[in-house]
Structures are given as structure tokens and as C-alpha cells.
Structure 1
Amino acid sequence: MRHVDDPLHKDLSAVTRIGECLFLACDETASVERLQRLDDGCFGEHRHFALSDLVDLPAGPDGEMDIEGLCAANGFLWIVGSHSLKRCKPRKDDGDREHALQRMERIQHEPNRYFLGRVPLAEEAPGLFVPVRSDGGRSSAWFKLGKKRSALAKWLGGDPHLGPFVSIPSKENGLDVEGLAVSGNRVWLGLRGPVLRGHAVVLDLQIKAKAESRLKARRVDGDRRYRKHLLDTRGLGIRDMRLDGDDLLLLVGPTMSLEGPAFVLRWRDAVHDDASGVIAPGRIETVAELPYQLHVDHPEGLELWPEAGPGALLIIYDAPAPERTDPDTFTVRADVICPSGAETGFLGRLMDAAGTRPERADDQSQ
């Protein structure tokens, strides 16, 4: 596996649940991590799955995917990369101002970031699922990947609202996919950027299998292969999404490299919107305001958690605060939020021996 700067549990970027399993992703790797429920109700027994074993990646196993969304639906694990560009940062120890300026001229393309696809989930024991390349008549499939441009960026290039932002790096209000929700052949992508006059953007696609290992989006809005929904999020970008019946829950927070508060919003009857447009503000409700700390606890992942009560949600964080982590055991805690206000608590141990060198998929964690 490629080198990562921090242990996996400090860079969590996405979460989804199926059966007794939590699948998580780190935005610096090209892999997914599986945890299973333990007897004490926590999650551990970490297993690592390199996605290069399951799909074909243009930059291979060491190329960063910047996975920002996971969704377990219809027997598949859906995965989306950020589809974003990245401007180089000046090094903190670089005393040469001109050299630092030249570094910031460079905009990097990471081909693996353009991934949008799915891999089958095989049930190896009751409630215990493993991602595989194929399972009976089901196979891994994904959108065509390019070296310099994704299919999504190509479609959005001529969009009057989004086209100007496709070639802008993500941390500068450029294109940045972070939310993912799936139902049947319908896929919603939530954008952290761009944010347009305080409105976040959700793209709505109808997916079809084009050929073996290949997915394609149908034309659903004239010649466009996506519907475009704009929601007034008070200037916040979408960090994750999850379907809740006919509604779409949105985890929203600061866009670009900003620090600030985050919320969970509910978009009422989202599944019935079959045309592009601006969503009426009355259909967007605030479910919860999340605790805010400067420089730590950046909300990145959202999942339903019904056993904690009606409307309960699991929230995972990037850059978790020190009190969430145990550096000796590589464990981390996540919030379970009850919108009724009756309870705010912790899920318990989420990561078991993740570290910077995760085990192979056929090994047991320590």
C-alpha cells in the first residue's frame, strides 16, 4: 500500500453499513476497510481490501483515489472519488519564496480520483460481507476512466452553472464530489464545491450497464446525462448523503479549506424530483447541528443508526480530536446523534489495529 502520512483512523472520509459490517475509506489510499460488530457492540476485526484487486485503476494500486463516498445498496458497494484537481502547496520549510510560488503553479491530476463504480458484496457468513470482483452473475463495473479528465467532468464542461469550475482545484471552490447515495439504478452525487450563491449542488444520474465492467449514465435532462438540483445550504458544501425513505439526508459543512460549523439537513421527497431546478427552501429542514471544534473533528461520513432510536445517525470525523482516539490501539470513536435531542453518545471502538499498514484481506487483525 502507498505511504500515508497519518494512521488510517485519522483520515476517515466515508462510511456505509450493511448487516454486521461497517465499510470505511481513507482519502489517501486506494482501498476500503471493513469492520465487523463485536460481542461488546463495538466494531473491530479490521480487514483491508485493495481496490486494485477488484477494479481496474488507471494509476494502479499506489495512485490516490481520494474516496469521499461509500454506499451499500442492492448487493453492491458503491464508491466515488472526489473527481477533483489539486494545487500543490508550498512546503513549510521552503525558505525560497520564488520556489514556493512556482510550486503553487502546479495543478495535479490524479486519475484514480475519477472513479465512480460498484463492486459486488458476497455474504461469507450471516451479516458478514466481503467485496469481490465478481459473484455469480454480478461483476464490478465503473464509469470510463481517463488520464486527464473524468466522464463526469466532460459532461459538466458545458454546463452553464458548473462548467467554469471543472478546471479549478477543489480547495478553491472547484469541482469536488463528496456525497453519494444510491437506490436501484439511480445515483445522487453531492458536491462540496462549487457552491453557487450559497447553494450546494446535487447531481442526479440514471445508471445503466453498458458492457462488462462498464457503467454509463442515461440522458435524463435533454441531452444531459444528469439532473442538477440546487439547495440553499447557507454557503455550506455537501460532505456526505444518505437516503432515508423518500428523503435525502445531507451532511453539510465548510467548502474549500475553511473551518466552521456543520449540519445534517433533510431534503423532503427528494426521490420524487425528476427535473433539474432550485429546491424550494421549505423542503429543506435542519435535522441536527453538529459539535464544532477548530482544526479537529471535521464531519465526513453519515449513516443511519436505527438501533439508537428513530432518526439516529452515525457521524464519522476526519482529523478526530485527541479525546476520540487511542494511539496505542489505533482506535477512534464516532458520534451517534439523536435529532430529538434525547441522547448524544459514542458508538465505541471503530478502528481495530488499522495503523498505517493494514492487513491483507486474508489476514486477521491483531
Structure 2
Amino acid sequence: MSDTSLAEAIAQVPLTFSDWKPLRHLEDPLHKDLSAVTRIGDCLFLACDETASVERLQHLDDGSFGHHQHFALDALVDLPAGADGEMDIEGLCADEGFLWIVGSHSRKRSKPKRDENDRSEALQNMEEIEREPNRYFLGRIPLVEEAPGIFTPTRSDGERQSAWLKLGKKRSALERWLSEDPHLGPFLNIPSKENGFDVEGLAVKGDRVWLGLRGPVLRGHAVVLDLELTQKGQDRLKARRIDGERRYRKHLLDTRGLGIRDMQFAGDDLLLLVGPTMSLEGPAFVLRWRGAAHDDSSGVIAPERIETVAELPYQLHVDHPEGLELWPEAGDGSLLIIYDAPAPERTDPDTFTVRADVICPRQAEDGRS
């Protein structure tokens, strides 16, 4: 992946949020903890991985996004742990009038307390591995166009209803389907920061849903799950059997050990934001999987169908790329990139504003050596 020039930002887009302090359980302001983004009309929908909500920003005359509105998801879907349970939302996608949402489906290990004087107690604290049931959400919510270009999520809009895969406090539908998978089954109970199962990318075309995994990474290959979902009953989605007895296709892509952080279709090609897995830090790239929409069987994707279109600038401990979205107004092929742990120079703490980058991968391609 080193044959691609760094993709410098050709513009920045300010994203301004309301005061985050009413969400008192958050450790960081919303603008410092973004994990997913999608655009529809004049709206950006974003998520913070510590909440059970989505945030809507509207396009303003100066090119920035503001007029923040917070939507608590427990009013729109049924969550097994309620409004206070962390969903760890890692993927958003607007498609055909629905807002699709996916949680990480991951487990987590307790961190040792930094001020812990008793080393044995710190070690014991790390024995606990948590399964938070809200994290296993995969579903869609109808969007209503309340004004030209302005979309609002709602639980019901006539025949269109919120619907999701079956959840459970012990095991979700997706966990059940994957439990016997020879590649992924062994990783379901491993915490995400230890190369365990961790969904971070989401892309949708009609009833077909692609899930990109940050982990596990298998012999340098990232995994994309590919499902076809149909609505069963008022609020239930179910996956068809599409690969023998399996309810999913499984695609492996050589990412040189990097995990998937987000995904976005550009025509029939799938753009993948890839970066370090586990708790590592390092460079991130945008890859293109050519013709992904037409792959109808499981397997390892031929390397010649995967190309690097951009290498993103890298800073230690800050500016971790978490989401990408097409940004055609900046030119053909341009992308918006949002960051977790944004560098101080891209934030304004007084106005709860963070600046996302706009990059043009085509410029990076032209600069290959």
C-alpha cells in the first residue's frame, strides 16, 4: 500500500453540535467521539459509540453542518438494555428511505485501573469480559422528508416500519448464525481489542447488507459479511439462506493485516476505510473493491480487484479515521472523512465544533510512484 501518495485534505467541513452535557454519562463531548456517518439530502447522520442515539446535522448556507438534533433510539426501536445501554454504533447507511444502523457486536474486557496500587486486584479486574446486548443491533428505521432535503427518523411511516434482527440478552440472531462458522465462530467471545469479533463497517443496497469487520483479521485478510434481509412481521428482519445452509456470504480481502473501519458504495464498487485492528495505532487507507455488488458467492477476493486509492495522514494518538462518505460537490471521487479522537487543531471546544476532512483519492492515485 506504500505506492500511494498521502491524500491531503482539499477542504474541511465544520460539524457543530449542541451542548453535550445533558448526556452526562459521556466521558467526551460528542464531537470528539464520532464513530459513524452517512448523508441523505441536506442531512448528515452521525453516531457516537457511547450512546444509544443518532445525531442529525443540517447543511447550512456557509457549507458547514449544524442545527443539531439528537434522536434517542429507544423511542424508535426496542433495545434489550433500554436507553442507558451502550449500543457502540459503528456503522450508519441511508438507503431507499431507511436509516440502517449496526452496533459493534463485540465484547469488551475491563481495563485495569491506572491508580490501582494492588497489582493482583488490577489483574483480577481484567478477568471480566462483558457482553452488552444493545451492541448486537442491526436494523433499519424509516426516514420521513419533513422539508426538502431534511429527513427525520420515525418508528413508523405507514407501511414502512422500524425492523431489526432478533436481539437477546444472551445471544443475537447473528451470533447464532456465526457460532458454527469455522473462521469466525472461535472469535465471538474474544474482546474486540484482542482481535475478537468486531463490526465497524456497514453498506446497504436494497435488501442486501454488507458488514465490514475490524476483527478478526485472518492471515492478513479482513472479512466482509454479506446478508440478504427481508422483513418478517412488524418489527423483525431475517436473513435468507444464500450460501448453502448459511444465511450470509463471507468475503476475505487481503488488507495486509488492517481491519475495516467503514465502507461506502461508489456505484458497484465498495470503498473500504481500513486501519489498525485491536488497540494498535498506525496508518489508514481507502481501498476499492471493484465490482463488489456483483459478488454472489463466498471466497477470497482476487488481489487484482483490490486497489489502494488513498493513504490518509497519520498522527499518533489523534485523528483516528472512523467514517467516510461520498462528497461529490468537491469533485468526482471526493470523500468526507470523520475522525475519532480529533486533534486539538480541528476542534473548537467552545462551540462543540469539529472539522471533517474532504479528500480526493483521484489526486492520490495520480501521485503514485
Tell me whether the two structures share a fold, i.e. TM-score over 0.5.
yes
Q: Does structure 1 residue 148 correspond to structure 2 residue 178?
A: no
The whole-number CA distance in structure 2 between the counterparts of 1:156 and 1:266 is 26
Residue ranges of structure 1 left out of the alignment (5+ in a row): 344-366
Q: What does 1:14-163 align with in structure 2 at a 5 Å threshold?
A: 14-163=36-185
Listed one character per residue, the Cα deviations across residues 296-328 of structure 1 (whole Å, up to 9, x for unaligned) are 000000100001001000000000000010011
The whole-number CA distance in structure 2 between the counterparts of 1:263 and 1:75 is 30
The whole-number CA distance in structure 1 between the counterparts of 2:362 and 2:226 is 30
Tell me the residue number matched to 1:243: 265
Following TM superposition, by how much is the alpha carbon of 1:148 offset from its aligned partner in structure 2, in angstroms? Answer: 2.1
> Is the partner of 1:202 in helix, strand or coil?
strand
What is the root-mean-square deviation of aligned Cα atoms in Å?
1.0
Listed one character per residue, the Cα deviations across residues 90-127 of structure 1 (whole Å, up to 9, x for unaligned) are 01111111111111000011000000000000000000
Does the CA contact (< 8 Å) of 1:296 and 1:318 recur in 2? yes
Tell me the residue number matched to 2:348: 326
Following TM superposition, by how much is the alpha carbon of 1:152 offset from its aligned partner in structure 2, in angstroms? Answer: 1.1
Following TM superposition, by how much is the alpha carbon of 1:342 offset from its aligned partner in structure 2, in angstroms? Answer: 7.9
Following TM superposition, by how much is the alpha carbon of 1:151 offset from its aligned partner in structure 2, in angstroms? Answer: 1.4
Change (3 A) 1:2 1:154: farther
Does the CA contact (< 8 Å) of 1:2 and 1:29 recur in 2? no
- Return 196-205 or 89-98, whichever deviates more: 89-98
> Is the partner of 2:307 in helix, strand or coil?
strand
Q: What does 1:338-353 align with in structure 2 at a 5 Å threshold?
A: 338-341=360-363
Does the CA contact (< 8 Å) of 2:99 and 2:140 recur in 1? yes
TM-score by length of 2: 0.92
> Is the partner of 1:294 in helix, strand or coil?
coil
Does the CA contact (< 8 Å) of 1:203 and 1:228 recur in 2? yes
Name which of 295, 320, 324 aligns with 1:298. 320
The whole-number CA distance in structure 1 between the counterparts of 2:174 and 2:247 is 9
Instruction: Tell me the number of residue pairs that the alignment of Structure 1 and Structure 2 aligns.
Output: 343
Change (3 A) 1:2 1:83: farther
The whole-number CA distance in structure 1 between the counterparts of 2:105 and 2:171 is 9
Does the CA contact (< 8 Å) of 1:2 and 1:62 recur in 2? no
The whole-number CA distance in structure 2 between the counterparts of 1:90 and 1:83 is 23
> Is the partner of 2:361 in helix, strand or coil?
coil
Following TM superposition, by how much is the alpha carbon of 1:154 offset from its aligned partner in structure 2, in angstroms? Answer: 1.4
Name which of 292, 310, 319 aligns with 1:270. 292
Tell me the residue number matched to 2:5: none
> Is the partner of 1:15 in helix, strand or coil?
strand
Q: Does structure 1 residue 280 correspond to structure 2 residue 302?
A: yes
Name which of 182, 204, 207 aligns with 1:185. 207
Tell me the residue number matched to 1:213: 235
Q: Which amino acid aligns with 1:307?
A: E
Q: Once superposed, which parts of structure 1, at least 4 consecutive aligned residues long, lie more than 4 Å away?
A: none
Residue ranges of structure 2 left out of the alignment (5+ in a row): 1-22
The whole-number CA distance in structure 1 between the counterparts of 2:93 and 2:257 is 25
The whole-number CA distance in structure 2 between the counterparts of 1:197 and 1:233 is 10
Listed one character per residue, the Cα deviations across residues 58-100 of structure 1 (whole Å, up to 9, x for unaligned) are 0000000000000000100000000000000001111111111
Following TM superposition, by how much is the alpha carbon of 1:340 offset from its aligned partner in structure 2, in angstroms? Answer: 2.4
Tell me the residue number matched to 1:310: 332
